[in-house]
Amino acid sequence: MASLSITRYLQFGLSSSLLLSAFASAQTLRFDSEWWRHTAHNEERTGFVLGYFDCPKAAKQVFSASSDDYVAYVYEHLGYSKESTVPSLLAQAHLHMKAHQVLRGGEEYPEKHSWLDGAWWGDAHHGDTDEKRGYVEGYLQCNYDEVTVTQTQNFVDALNRHFANPSSEHHKIANVLQPILDSEKKRS
**Tens digit of pLDDT for each residue in 27-81?**
999 999 999 999 999 999 999 999 999 998 888 887 778 889 999 999 998 986 5
Domain positions in the chain are: 29-101+110-187
Is the torsion defined by CA of 187, 117, 166, 154 positive or negative?
negative
DSSP one-letter code for 107: -
- The C-alpha atoms of residue 153 and residue 156 are separated, in whole angstroms, by 5
Claim: this prediction has a pTM higher than 0.85 = no
Q: Mind listing the pLDDT tens digit for each residue in 82-133? A: 568 999 999 989 888 887 776 676 566 556 667 799 989 987 777 789 999 9
Radius of gyration of the chain from its Cα atoms, rounded to whole angstroms: 20
- Mapping DSSP to helix (H, G, I), strand (E, B) and coil, where does residue 148 land? strand
Per-residue confidence band for 8, with pLDDT thresholds at 50, 70 and 90: very low
The pLDDT assigned to 80 comes to 62
> Considering Cα of 145, then 146, then 150, then 156, what sign does the dihedral take?
positive
